[in-house]
Structure 1
């Protein structure tokens, strides 16, 4: 669930409402609304963001720090289904804080671009849960929730995101915000098809193998062809469990694939794609050809 840095002067109650979307998920999540508000002030200082949350209070840094953050190497996001990924970290706080208090919450987030003025931010719907390991430290676990069908991402968002964590006190608006704790790839989920023909085929004759490489388009919520990408045709004998490379080809401007090879023995043909920073690796299910 995300905010964008296109609104730079949201303050007070407006900040709390402007970034509560999607309202269907956020209406009952005080953590989600206030955490987003704290990061919604693109180009402003952290103290300005705090003041927006508590205009009548003397907002201050909570003195909370985060370390040992772990996040998945990549998060694959399709066109509509909700995607959730878990982030863990160590939280260090003053001995006077009660992590179980309803007035205190913390959680992880991902941000694209600069920490001080991110282009986009992804939060979890709920605050993290923490287990105390001492009077001043705790091991915490929180989620990042992504709803591509509700506009959480645009295509240019694919690629590297940085990880941060934020703690806040609801009653005062006090905030501790820390970035550069880790990184992950948020990727446009990929699909790959294959069809080998004719079936059956005479030994020594030509087999034509076609298919298509597609990836999620987060702006249309459909899959679209991935153009001019290197894909490898592979073959596995009927009696083997291992695929071997046959030849490399490049997808067309619409993502379609077409190549030929000679039939030798019964077996399975498939295409495989190694992936990029924006799109994960994928292999098609093998298509069997009977050689007569």
Structure 2
């Protein structure tokens, strides 16, 4: 785990995610994201200092705030699937420790979790919450905090699927107005710490199945088709997930348990097709085990009447 008191200049994909306001926040109901980005960007000139040295930065640069973080837990450790249109709110809990000179109850003290892709010092993408976290003091210098990371599909690229890291930050404005163009950032403190474990962010998956003919005579061939697809964040549509192993499963009408009949692979468009022999009435489904970038998914069983 590493600690940084300041953050590298916001650029590229990071600038897109940290500075752009998602549509759901266009009404200005929360300026938390943009305020945080402003302070982080201003702090880049002194990247690389240790967590807290007691120094005040040069005019226009935030100073190092005596705050550290631990025990960050993202989404209860569960993977985070994201589709093409809906916002996904990810709960995060963490412990905040602070110096005796830091007033975490001040109206202009803010803290919150975030997720980042790539390196901590120069991330490829960063995802914040729409609002600051809330904290409950557990001692004179520690607090238990709860916050969210709000993920909007338009913030993501397909290359973002997979491993991410978690981080948390705190900002003490000390009476400075973050919306003031003439803000004196040398009076603003910031602490930022990354390197915490986060579950993967995944491209939401879909799976269909169709067994035919219906009805079918016993001993005859049943053809089972389907489509395995997943969210394409680059196009905001769903696209076939190609060359993936998928299990064809069957359960008898009188049973609650599916058994695997065979394993097939999706084609170049994500389509699935195979045949089997009709024996008894029951349900066919496809079952995809998932990958690091795409969650597991089961199709709803399709009933076949065997006569």
| CA–CA distance in structure 2, aligned partners of residues 248 and 7 of structure 1 | 39
TM-score of the superposed pair, with normalisation by structure 2:
0.84
Partner of 1:128: 133
Partner of 2:25: 25
Partner of 1:157: 160
| CA–CA distance in structure 1, aligned partners of residues 301 and 10 of structure 2 | 41
3-state SS of paired residue (1:32): helix
| CA–CA distance in structure 1, aligned partners of residues 13 and 209 of structure 2 | 45
Comparing 167-176 with 110-119, greater Cα deviation is found at 167-176
3-state SS of paired residue (1:133): strand
Partner of 1:60: 63
| CA–CA distance in structure 1, aligned partners of residues 248 and 66 of structure 2 | 55
3-state SS of paired residue (1:279): coil
Deviation at 1:55, TM superposition (A): 7.5
| CA–CA distance in structure 1, aligned partners of residues 276 and 12 of structure 2 | 52
Partner of 2:88: 83
Partner of 1:194: 209
Gap runs ≥5 in structure 2: 1-8, 50-56, 177-186
Q: Does 1:137 align with 2:142?
A: yes
Closer, same or farther in 2 for the Cα pair 1:142/1:221, shift >3 Å?
Answer: same
Partner of 1:51: none
1:1-292 pair list within 5 angstroms: 5-6=11-12, 19-22=19-22, 25=25, 27-40=28-41, 45-46=46-47, 56-57=59-60, 59-72=62-75, 73-148=78-153, 151-170=154-173, 171=176, 172-292=187-307
3-state SS of paired residue (2:264): strand
Instruction: Quote the RMSD (CA, aligned, Å).
Output: 2.5
3-state SS of paired residue (1:33): helix
Q: Contact 2:42 / 2:60 at 8 angstroms: preserved in 1?
A: no
Closer, same or farther in 2 for the Cα pair 1:280/1:7, shift >3 Å?
Answer: closer
Q: Contact 2:13 / 2:124 at 8 angstroms: preserved in 1?
A: no
Comparing 166-175 with 125-134, greater Cα deviation is found at 166-175
Deviation at 1:220, TM superposition (A): 1.4
Aligned length: 276
Q: Contact 1:233 / 1:245 at 8 angstroms: preserved in 2?
A: yes
Q: Contact 1:36 / 1:123 at 8 angstroms: preserved in 2?
A: no
Gap runs ≥5 in structure 1: 49-53
TM-score of the superposed pair, with normalisation by structure 1:
0.88
Closer, same or farther in 2 for the Cα pair 1:43/1:279, shift >3 Å?
Answer: farther
| CA–CA distance in structure 2, aligned partners of residues 42 and 203 of structure 1 | 73
Closer, same or farther in 2 for the Cα pair 1:221/1:58, shift >3 Å?
Answer: closer
Q: Contact 1:42 / 1:118 at 8 angstroms: preserved in 2?
A: no
| CA–CA distance in structure 2, aligned partners of residues 194 and 234 of structure 1 | 11
